[in-house]
Structure 1
Amino acid sequence: MSTTFTLDTSTSRAHPVPEPVRRLTVPSIRGRKKNGETAEPIVMLTAYTARMAQLLDPHCDMLLVGDSLGQVIYGLDTTVRVTLDLMVAHGAAVVRGSYRSVVVVDLPFGTYEASPEQAFESASRVLRETGCAAVKLEGGEVLAPTIAFLVQRGIPVVAHVGLTPQAVNALGGYGARGRSEAEAAKIRADARAVADAGAFAVVIEGVMEPLARQITGELSCPTIGIGASPACDGQVLVVDDMLGMFERVPRFVRRFDDLAARIDTAAASYAGAVRDRSFPGEAELYIPKAKAAG
């Protein structure tokens, strides 16, 4: 038995209660790929809050607390400005709101690149203060020694190659990567290096489809695509993009709902009810009970 958290949806508050350990594990995710094949693709979405984690958890194998929260939640122009404090706060909320999925938290820009020791200090804080299962970091061959350092010290790592948003200033934008033979060769080498270093999964973002397919066939660990290939061993999307919360999304996003329009409609209905004084109605008021006669 372990103490986890269940979310009381009537109050939106998390209460610690004893629950059986039900979470998927890092080895179970790694083990999805056998002899180069993944019979059951890995389902992954981002989550940033306890309530969203609760809603997504039954359907996902992994929940990613991505540094994309900087743009999605806080309106920042890039992920570069996200802090470790933000990642810890949101990571802890997602862990509290879930019980099944493997929760992975991004290490933000500037918290792991300087040295393996810096990465360990950041990653160990994230695991300790959030209760998550793993961290994710961006980069290829240059970070392979750091990944090995973390894995050897008991910190599971998801790697991230291809389009790496934290390096947007160096890349010059968010365009697809791997168009030239030289760039494709480098991304392949990056993927092999991080997998050989011990990453249990590799996110491949924003690369040409044949390249993502080739990398997936070459790696023994699962690949998780985002703007990559259906041949990847799993897929991930930013949940707000998938739900249709934004008008403009990357080409690789499929909107599975138009939640923004539905929120707009609901807000308009609420505003109308307030203005015509039909809300609150009698059912929403605390009416004194009539005193008994005599």
Structure 2
Amino acid sequence: MSATGEVKRPVPPDIRARKGGTPLVVLTAYTTPVARLVDPHCDIVLVGDSLGMVVHGLPSTLGVTMEMMILHGQAVARGTAKSMLVIDMPFGSYEEGPEQAFRNAARLMVETGAAAVKLEGGVHMEETIAFLTARGIPVMAHIGLTPQAVNTLGGYRVQGRGEDAARIRRDAEAVARAGAFSVVLEKVPDALAREITNAIDIPTIGIGASVDCDGQVLVVDDMLGLFTSFRPKFVKRYAELGEEADRAIAAYAAEVRARTFPAPEHVFGEKVPGK
């Protein structure tokens, strides 16, 4: 706590220092109300480009824009006070080169108040990550299954099986060498994720990886049972809020049609209360 009583949010060096310690808790958020729910429990709140599918109904993350990430990033920033805010760089905002990546990453941080950005890619993003970190842009890397490359990868398949493991190892080494403060490992075999976690000096954050990673991340709508279009194997449902919401909405509709809602206690009379 500071002298003013404000909670000190973690910053990227704090996250990096958690390597090998108590696992990091990471969840996504896209709105202020959900940010307020996850903030007390998380080390990092991620405004993921998964919002394209979860919130906007897009078929993939490829249609997400900078404007969408900024709008949702601003909403989440208003709902967080304890956790560190990280925001995804959307497809097409950084792949062209380090200069493009810097312009867009700086814009995201300035307009949302995020402490860091996340971008996908390993060896081919090493130069860009190094360029950003040398200029004050902390980077969370993302390797393994990288959803923005779903068309190149041929779908949402497990990455790093068999001989392909060497590619994922090289990616992990590259992003660590470039200065990323952490790296998301998505949908890679358990043993490979464990090996990478032991081999690199930055925290690994697993999603469909290994319990031995330095932290875990899930899409909040997945773990709460709000997003039900599909359910990846790596998702554990901690609640079924989608089913609860369906029951509640059905009950409301039935009462409206039966004219049992609104009831007398929900309407207003002519008499002023207390007079």
* TM band (smaller chain): over 0.9
Shift, 1:292, TM fit = 10
Identity within the alignment, %? 57
Shift, 1:277, TM fit = 1.5
Unaligned residue ranges in structure 1 (runs of 5+)? 3-17
* Deviation larger for 246-255 or 108-117: 246-255
Q: Deviations over 1:185-240 (max 9, x none)?
A: 01101011101111000000011111000000011110000000000000001111
Aligned CA-pair RMSD = 1.8
Decide which of 192, 215, 220 is 2:196's aligned counterpart. Answer: 215
Q: Please give the secondary structure, in 1, of the residue aligned with 2:62.
A: helix
Structure ranking higher in strand proportion? 1
In structure 2, relative to structure 1, the CA distance for the partners of 1:112 and 1:277 (3 Å cut) is same
Write the letter of the residue equivalent to 2:147: P
Structure 2 CA distance for aligned equivalents of residues 76 and 162 of structure 1: 22
Name the counterpart of 2:116: 134
Structure 1 CA distance for aligned equivalents of residues 273 and 88 of structure 2: 60
Aligned residue runs from structure 1 range 34-49, under 5 A: 37-38=20-21, 40-49=22-31
Name the counterpart of 1:30: 16
Name the counterpart of 1:107: 89
Number of residues paired by the alignment? 273
Structure 2 CA distance for aligned equivalents of residues 290 and 118 of structure 1: 62
Name the counterpart of 2:207: 226
Structure 2 CA distance for aligned equivalents of residues 287 and 103 of structure 1: 47
TM-score (norm 1): 0.89
Q: Please give the secondary structure, in 2, of the residue aligned with 1:277.
A: coil
Decide which of 261, 264, 289 is 2:246's aligned counterpart. Answer: 264
Structure 2 CA distance for aligned equivalents of residues 67 and 290 of structure 1: 50
Q: Does 1:89 align with 2:75?
A: no
Unaligned residue ranges in structure 2 (runs of 5+)? none
Aligned residue runs from structure 1 range 263-282, under 5 A: 263-282=245-264
Q: Please give the secondary structure, in 1, of the residue aligned with 2:117.
A: strand
Write the letter of the residue equivalent to 2:247: T
Shift, 1:251, TM fit = 0.7
Q: Deviations over 1:122-155 (max 9, x none)?
A: 0000000000110000000111111011111111
Q: Does 1:168 align with 2:150?
A: yes
In structure 2, relative to structure 1, the CA distance for the partners of 1:282 and 1:207 (3 Å cut) is same
Shift, 1:24, TM fit = 2.0
Decide which of 93, 116, 141 is 2:98's aligned counterpart. Answer: 116
Name the counterpart of 1:235: 216
Aligned residue runs from structure 1 range 123-202, under 5 A: 123-181=105-163, 183-202=164-183
Structure 2 CA distance for aligned equivalents of residues 292 and 234 of structure 1: 56
Write the letter of the residue equivalent to 2:219: V
Shift, 1:280, TM fit = 1.4
Structure 1 CA distance for aligned equivalents of residues 274 and 244 of structure 2: 46
Write the letter of the residue equivalent to 1:277: R
Write the letter of the residue equivalent to 2:182: A
Shift, 1:290, TM fit = 6.1
